[in-house]
Amino acid sequence: MPGYSVHTLIIGAGPAGLACATALAQAGVEVVVLERLARVGCKPCAGGIPATSLDPALPPELLEGSFNRQRVVTESQDFRLQATGPMICTIDREKLGEWMQRRAEAVGVKVLCGVRAREIRGRTLFSEGGDFNFRYLVGADGSKSLVRRHLGLGLQLAGIGITYQIPGRFPEMEWHLSPRRFGNGYAWLFPHRDTASVGVYAYRGGLRSQILHDQLRSWAAGRGLNLESSRPRASLVSFDYRGARFGNILLAGDAAGLASGLTGEGIAAALYSGHAAARAILGGDNQPPELNHLLRRHILHRRLATFTAGRPLFSRAVSETLALALRCRLLDHEALELLKPNRH
């Protein structure tokens, strides 16, 4: 049976896939997005996003929290980073997903939920919802990307993130860096409106995920945070970038391995690289130069994450030095972010 022919087929309705789809449809391109889950946005995530990376069109009521102060705790420092305006915000991934889906559909994108992509052969994709012939294929299908596997790209460099969403109101955002407990990763408390994400991230080459989870639970108990009322959710975060453009197949977001190896943050990079993939499709053959800044920061974060993994003394030296530099304002918090302000 002949498949459905579409100009651009996108696998995955996360931030990368929906950002790419919207940008293409706004330029008049026919786009179909396949999402294996019944609803978009159900991703385990703490929802932290630098204020400078927020989409200006995002309705303010979608923000869960907005912070001009962050508490940073290391093994020998405990201080607050303060700014005059918001440094970082929190969002609910389901609400962000619903909003991005509505926005994409409003400009003509077809989002097919509950449809898992299964196999790619030539210019045809086989899915549970039928076969699709595509001119361009965008893999925005997260860290365990089928499209990435089809391209023969392995997944060596990934972190593990574990989060609990607990009820309660919490006044400030907290980052806890302790190589003794979390290797070269960190635990966090990110307040949302009436809940908070309490979780941990670390490069999986450093600590086993079960040990990381146990450390999170023991740290949270010591910090007086009750995790019992909620269930843990975990996922890989890929920072194994090997390229974004492979002929008529493009990768974006975690599928391209563009999250930060150091912090595990990947929403902003997903949005940005989704736009970049759209620009590459619209503009012809070259990788958009805008990716260069993101890649420079990405490589720095990757080096720091892999260099300190399994080396507590180096981890400690790096975390204490970065914390001291932030505290003494030798380093601006934006210097650690993957993207230049307002670049997507």
Ligand X SMILES: Cc1cc2nc3c(=O)[nH]c(=O)nc-3n(C[C@H](O)[C@H](O)[C@H](O)COP(=O)(O)OP(=O)(O)OC[C@H]3O[C@@H](n4cnc5c(N)ncnc54)[C@H](O)[C@@H]3O)c2cc1C
Which chain residues interact with ligand X by CB under 6 A? 11-17, 34-37, 43-49, 116-117, 140-142, 146, 161-163, 199, 235, 237, 253-255, 259, 264-268, 270
Nearer to ligand X, 13 or 323 (CB): 13
Least distance to ligand X, CB of residue 36, Å: 4
Nearer to ligand X, 48 or 179 (CB): 48
- Minimum distance from residue 63 beta carbon to ligand X (Å): 13
Closest to ligand X by CB, 89 or 323: 89
Q: How far apart are alpha carbons 138 and 140 in whole angstroms?
A: 6
**Residues forming beta bridges with residue 246, ordered by sequence position:** 249
C-alpha angle 74-80-85 in degrees, rounded to nearest 5: 140
Give whichever of 79 and 126 is closer to ligand X, judged by the CB atom.
126
Q: Which of 270, 262, 263, 318 is nearest to 294 (CA)?
A: 270
**Per 3-state DSSP, what percentage of the chain is helix, strand, and coil (rounded to 5)?**
35, 30, 40
Considering the complex, state which of residue 101 and residue 306 has its C-beta at the smaller distance from ligand X: 101
Cβ at position 59, least distance to ligand X in Å: 19
Q: What is the largest CA-CA distance in the chain?
A: 66
Report, in Å, the least distance between residue 254 CB and ligand X.
4
**What is the secondary structure of 75-90 as a DSSP string?**
SS-EEEEE-SS--EEE
Least distance in angstroms from the C-beta of 259 to ligand X:
4
**Is 17 or 185 the residue whose CB approaches ligand X more closely?**
17
CB of 208 to ligand X, least distance (A): 16
Q: Which is nearer to ligand X, 158 or 304 (CB)?
A: 158
User: Rounded to the nearest whole angstrom, what is the least distance from the CB of residue 115 to ligand X in the complex?
Assistant: 6
Q: Is 269 helix (H, G, I), strand (E, B) or coil?
A: helix
Instruction: Kindly give the residue spans of alpha helices, DSSP state H, lying in the chain.
Output: 15-26, 93-106, 146-150, 179-182, 209-222, 267-283, 291-308, 312-327
Listed residue (220, 230, 222) closest to 195, CA to CA: 230
Asked if residue 181 lies in contact with residue 223, where contact means CB atoms within 8 angstroms, the answer is no
DSSP string over 227-265: -TTS--EEEEEE-----SEETTEEE-GGGGT-S-TTT--
Beta bridge partners of 156: none
- The two three-digit tokens of residue 179, written as one number: 């190589």
